Structure 1
Amino acid sequence: MHEEVREVRATLSDVAAKAGVSRQTVSNALNTPRIVHPATLERVMEAVAELGYSPNLHARRLRTSSARTIGVRLEPVHDGIHGVLLDRFLHAVTEQAADLDRHVLVFTADGPDDEVARIRSLSQRSLADAFILTSTDHRDARVAALVEAGIPFVAFGRSWDADGPDHAWVDVDGRAGTREATEACLAVGERVAFLGWPTGSGAGDERRAGWREAMDVAGLATDLDRAVTDDPGEAQEAASELLAAGATAIVCASDTLALGAIGALARADASVPVVGFDDTGVAAGLGFSSVDQSLGDVAAAVLSLLHGDADHRLVTPRLHRRAHPRWGLPAQRTASADGKEAS
């Protein structure tokens, strides 16, 4: 009986280690050799020949044209607001892709490992040319796996790892969003509070940093800062503490937290501006201001990167003001023709 011997294909990392260069340098040598130093290029190509490395054909096709079929995982809905955001993003991607004569293939997966396995399968069977990752997190294993496999993808969201593999991503500038929201609240009073998530969430830390920046520039204290999980009940209790401490407005890291803050206002019969983040139907229904993630712009940026090299795009969100009599923001004042302020 003969034992079956499976051939182990060389990877991009194998070539990089053999040539003593980074994986990005190997990618540059194979795809844009003109930008690589001749001596380095020669070393890389020798390693390619010695190891018998075969570049991913899908990646090469993507660089010479554009992705026609784009795979996106349809995530299970555990959080109503998070699910709504991803649904809006997927709708924007599908609509804009159709205008570019591209198609979106939606698939499901039971967790990150299964998602990578399904992406590999779809790529190998030529059912999709490129992929979009959503809900990325610290040290996201999916990113490293797809980079290693040479499968083209763009992530919606950073992986927040400075030492992680370079890859294309698009994210919303949460810091800019909460900074704008805080600046708007400072027009009402100086004790602007922040209600966010515990430290360690990349997006949450960025949103808190935007609030702090605006307060620091104004020379104001940042003591009214509370961290809770994304739960309306916890948010309501924390917001009650902030109101008791004299908060003149509450900027929140999400619409879910803002919902809890609204509950605290109702319970205390108080009236201060509340600003959420995500601009969901909850914000529209209750009439509180919220930061719109500009998901149409995110979708456009993702599609533009699907046929290029690794690049990064930060999309600037927009503050959607709502003038609810109890927790809304006042109308933004603009300069009139004679230079005077007008509402």
Structure 2
Amino acid sequence: MGPIRPTIADVARAAGVSRTTVSHALNGIGKVDPRTRERVVQAAAELGYRPSLRAQRLRSGQSRTIGLVSSMPVAVAGGPSKLGFFMEVAAAAAETAMLSGFALVVVPPLDTDPPLDALDIDGAIVIEPDQDDPTTKRLQSRGVPIVTIGPQQGMDLPHVDLRAPRVGRLLLEHLREQGARRIALLMGSGHRSWYVDLAEVYARFAREHDMPPLVVEADESGGEETGREACAELLEKHPDVDAICAAVDAFALGAVRAVAERGLRIPDDVRVATRYDGVRARTSTPTLTAVDLNLAQAAASAVELLLANLKGTEVPQVISNPDPRLVVRESTRRG
């Protein structure tokens, strides 16, 4: 027989408190005097006591697991980017969750509906859902608390604000500073809040500079190829276009291909900029001007907000992310 494993009763006896106090002290719940908590923690350490995660789960009814779900199609969130945007969020979210004693289940972009009903999770973070996103609807129907990264259009869900209007301004003003006078907006055909905000910023920008607005939409599910097709048609109909602001990095790669196929040069003839400073932007030829969205901070904030809501802590339900930062690269930089 191996050594007898110490129990919560042993810790309670050694610390001179009740088993309930031991449970609250070690799990960070309830009101426990700091000196008592310290005595309990010390007694547990001396005895080598380790709480049973399975027993904790049975008592609390919690899995101590949260889910991270992407609402973007594989063609955008996957491919050459190695799930760049999604995995950048996942890495920071996993770290923040782990430090609070929670595990993170990653539900990657799939060609089929993800098996959300089979997930044993206490809450979920959904990345930039579309207006009619089925993921949030299914989670809500199960009563799963949700926090989104980026608001969901038409819904009042707790979320982290990625500062979409500011991002749009950074891109458009930079393109104009680089000499562009006929900037086209290439965006997805869905109704993500990011698209709506960008379209509004673009419309105001066009009016301010007496620039005829030119907005082209492409199907997200087609990824780079639909971006290329939309841009090729755009350049055919509007040869005076000298800059393309792509809302999605996969579309930006398609735009780069369309410009080259037309025999034009980047950035001398057409400048291309995109929203997300990820793998695609950094490895494209030419490299793409993009925006640092502070995704790691957004992910950490989303996890903290979700955990606060799970505990019933009263906190602001909208968190504003830090200022985005423009990263200028070859696709817009002349000379």
Give, in whole Å, the separation in 2 of the partners of 1:135 and 1:185: 25
Identity of aligned residues (%): 22
Which of 151, 159, 175 is the matching residue for 2:165? 175
> 1:215–1:222: 8 Å Cα contact kept in structure 2?
yes
Question: Offset at 1:199?
Answer: 6.4
Aligned to 2:251: 257
Which of 101, 110, 113 is the matching residue for 1:111? 113
Aligned to 1:194: 185
Superimposed CA distance per residue, residues 140-175 of structure 1 (whole angstroms, 9 cap, x where no aligned partner): 4544554465433312343312xx4x4312242333
Secondary structure (helix, strand or coil) at the match of 1:190 reads: coil
Secondary structure (helix, strand or coil) at the match of 1:274 reads: strand
After superposition, the CA RMSD in angstroms is 3.4
> 1:191–1:248: 8 Å Cα contact kept in structure 2?
yes
Aligned to 1:240: 235
Aligned to 2:303: 303
> 2:228–2:258: 8 Å Cα contact kept in structure 1?
no
Segments ≥4 residues shifted beyond 6 Å: 74-77
Superimposed CA distance per residue, residues 19-75 of structure 1 (whole angstroms, 9 cap, x where no aligned partner): xxxxxxxxxxxxxxxxxxxxxxxxxxxxxxxxxxxxxxx9xx89xxx9953233478
Normalization by structure 2: what TM-score? 0.63
The one-letter amino acid paired with 1:186 is R
- With over 3 angstroms needed to count, the CA separation of the structure-2 counterparts of 1:69 and 1:235, relative to structure 1, is same
Aligned to 1:312: 318
The one-letter amino acid paired with 1:195 is L
The one-letter amino acid paired with 1:241 is E
Secondary structure (helix, strand or coil) at the match of 2:291 reads: strand
For structure 2, the 5+ residue unaligned runs are 1-56, 221-225
The one-letter amino acid paired with 2:324 is P
Give, in whole Å, the separation in 1 of the partners of 2:72 and 2:189: 24
The correspondence of residues 1-343 of structure 1 with structure 2, limited to 5 A, is 68-73=64-69, 78-79=74-75, 81-82=77-78, 83-106=83-106, 111=113, 114-115=115-116, 117-119=117-119, 122=120, 128-144=121-137, 146-147=139-140, 149-161=142-154, 164=155, 166-187=156-177, 188-198=179-189, 200-217=191-208, 219-230=209-220, 231-241=226-236, 244=239, 246-267=240-261, 268-270=263-265, 271=268, 272-285=270-283, 286=285, 287-306=287-306, 307-308=308-309, 311-315=317-321, 316-322=323-329, 324=330, 327-329=331-333
Secondary structure (helix, strand or coil) at the match of 1:93 reads: helix
The one-letter amino acid paired with 1:328 is T
Aligned to 1:18: none
For structure 1, the 5+ residue unaligned runs are 1-57, 123-127, 332-343
Give, in whole Å, the separation in 2 of the partners of 1:170 and 1:205: 16
Give, in whole Å, the separation in 2 of the partners of 1:167 and 1:201: 14
> 2:291–2:325: 8 Å Cα contact kept in structure 1?
yes
Question: Offset at 1:81?
Answer: 3.9
Question: Offset at 1:279?
Answer: 1.9
Normalization by structure 1: what TM-score? 0.62
Aligned to 1:4: none
